[in-house]
């Protein structure tokens, strides 16, 4: 029994530590992924804040509808009322919604302003180009680094070759062969476009989502404050394999990023394996809730 409790405790501690370092969808999910940026934390706060208005209003409307259906049904009112208006009621249902909308509008505009006004200049710019059905990433640095990122196949041999057999860390339909790698606590600008049809670049844990439109460049930014492996997907219907176009971003320390970048310029698969070995040896990065 003691051994069982100790094992359960160790597993709980492991999951708790892991949950702070990664984010991916989970079965029967009803909430957002754990925020990995300040913007996403604000979005999560605003969602909870707005529910304090939405739920009472929904309940009130439901109660009023039920009351009207029962109280003013034909059998209870053979002679219907001919009341045409009520000044007090009209004032209440005019002023009330205006006040509620003001309470929602002010924090909403503040959030929109924060989303479109980064507090500092980007230190890293990555161009993400959507293809049917994968992503090209171009690191716009002194010696540009370009690579393709596609969904990891179900083939076990391919997963073993990439060192990604663990489905808890590299889940089916979300894991990719080459993740975008960025340093933690660094402002990253992503220039999003497409090569063929309209796609969408979405990373829920970062609070980022924008269309990828051929011939146009949309700009988003994020500053991840937690190291880990984060998953997103194309969010614009783009063809028969739309559901198989995941996005994976690995957030690492400055030192790990510098080492990976130097090696990736000549040997991307080798750089990825070395980074995975270092990260997974120091801290797990899977099993976070959504």
Cα 149 to Cα 18, 82, 248, distances in angstroms: 24, 68, 9
Q: What share of residues in the chain are helix, strand, coil (percent, to 5)?
A: 40, 20, 35
With 70 as the cut, is the pLDDT of residue 254 above it?
Answer: yes
Question: What is the edge-to-edge ordering of all strands in the sheet holding 134-139?
Answer: 145-149, 134-139, 124-131, 188-194, 218-222
| pTM (two decimals) | 0.80
Q: Residue 71 contacts by C-beta under 8 Å, 6 or more apart in sequence? A: none
- Please compute, for residue 173, the number of CA atoms within 13 A of its CA located in the half-sphere on the CB side: 9
Q: Which of 186, 288, 172, 150 is nearest to 228 (CA)?
A: 288
What are the tens digits of pLDDT across the range 199-239?
Answer: 999 999 999 999 999 999 999 999 999 999 999 999 999 99
Q: Which of 177, 131, 132 is nearest to 153 (CA)?
A: 177
Mean pLDDT of the chain: 86
- Are 198 and 236 spatial neighbours (Cβ–Cβ below 8 Å)? yes
DSSP 8-state class, residue 178: S
Average pLDDT over residues 282-289: 40
């Amino acid at each position: 029994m003691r051994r069982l409790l100790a094992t359960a405790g160790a597993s709980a501690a492991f999951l708790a530590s892991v949950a702070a370092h990664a984010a991916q969808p989970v079965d029967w999910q009803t909430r957002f992924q754990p925020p990995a940026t300040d913007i996403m934390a604000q979005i999560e706060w605003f969602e909870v804040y707005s529910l304090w208005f939405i739920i009472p209003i929904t309940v009130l409307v439901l109660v009023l509808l039920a009351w009207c259906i029962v109280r003013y049904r034909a059998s209870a009112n053979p002679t219907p009322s001919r009341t045409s208006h009520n000044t007090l009621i009209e004032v209440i249902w005019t002023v009330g919604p205006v006040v509620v909308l003001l309470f929602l509008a002010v924090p909403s505009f503040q959030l929109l302003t924060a989303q479109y006004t980064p507090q500092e200049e980007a230190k890293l710019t990555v161009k993400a180009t959507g293809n049917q059905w994968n992503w090209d990433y171009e690191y716009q640095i002194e010696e540009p680094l370009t690579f393709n990122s596609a969904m990891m196949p179900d083939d076990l041999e391919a997963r073993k070759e990439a060192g990604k057999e663990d489905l808890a860390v590299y889940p089916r339909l979300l894991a990719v062969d080459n993740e975008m790698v960025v340093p933690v606590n660094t402002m990253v600008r992503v220039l999003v476009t497409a090569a063929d049809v309209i796609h969408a670049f979405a990373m829920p844990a970062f609070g980022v989502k924008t269309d990828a439109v051929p011939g146009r460049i949309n700009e988003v930014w994020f500053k991840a404050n937690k190291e880990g492996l984060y998953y997103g997907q194309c969010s614009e219907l783009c063809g028969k394999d739309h559901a198989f176009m995941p996005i994976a971003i690995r957030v690492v320390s400055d030192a790990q990023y510098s080492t990976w970048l130097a090696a990736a310029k000549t040997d991307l698969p080798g750089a990825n394996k070395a980074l995975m070995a270092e990260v997974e040896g120091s801290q797990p990065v899977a099993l976070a809730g959504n």
